[in-house]
């Protein structure tokens, strides 16, 4: 799924893919090579330390979105890929945004 998001970012004028993260090192390396990136991580926390990261696509299974979404918010970036199959949860949204 990350390759689909990376291609979409590449297609947007003014957007720049600056790094990728995946727990599977071979997928991370392949994606980095395809998009000519020299920064790839096996832990998203390293990616969030980059000053040029403004937005983050979280391409994990829905059940695994919460932890990285909170980390992205705490790092001051924006998550642009909310879980597609979860119902909207106002109390959780308020907690994540506070």
Name the nearest CA neighbour of 64 among 16, 3, 22. 22
Domain containing residue 42: 2-97
**Confidence check: pLDDT of 63 > 90:** no
Confidence of residue 83 (pLDDT cuts 50, 70, 90): low
| Tally of domains within the chain | 1
Residue 41 and residue 63: Cα distance in Å, rounded?
21
We report the CATH number of the domain holding residue 70 as 3.40.50.720
Higher pLDDT, 86 or 6: 6
What percentage of the chain reaches a pLDDT higher than 70? 80
Contact between 44 and 16 under an 8 Å Cβ cutoff? The reply is no
Phi-psi label, residue 76: left if phi above 0, alpha if psi -120 to 50, beta otherwise: left
Tell me, yes or no, if the pTM score tops 0.85: no
User: What is the token pair recorded at 9?
Assistant: 């970012």
């Amino acid at each position: 799924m990350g390759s689909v998001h990376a291609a979409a970012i590449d297609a947007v004028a003014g957007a720049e893919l600056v790094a990728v993260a995946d727990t599977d090192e071979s997928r991370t390396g392949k994606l980095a090579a395809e998009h000519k990136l020299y920064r790839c991580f096996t832990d998203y926390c390293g990616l969030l330390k980059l000053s040029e990261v403004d937005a983050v696509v979280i391409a994990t299974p829905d059940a695994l979105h919460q932890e990285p979404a909170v980390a992205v918010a705490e790092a001051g970036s924006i998550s642009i890929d909310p879980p597609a199959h979860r119902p909207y949860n106002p109390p959780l949204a308020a907690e994540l945004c506070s």
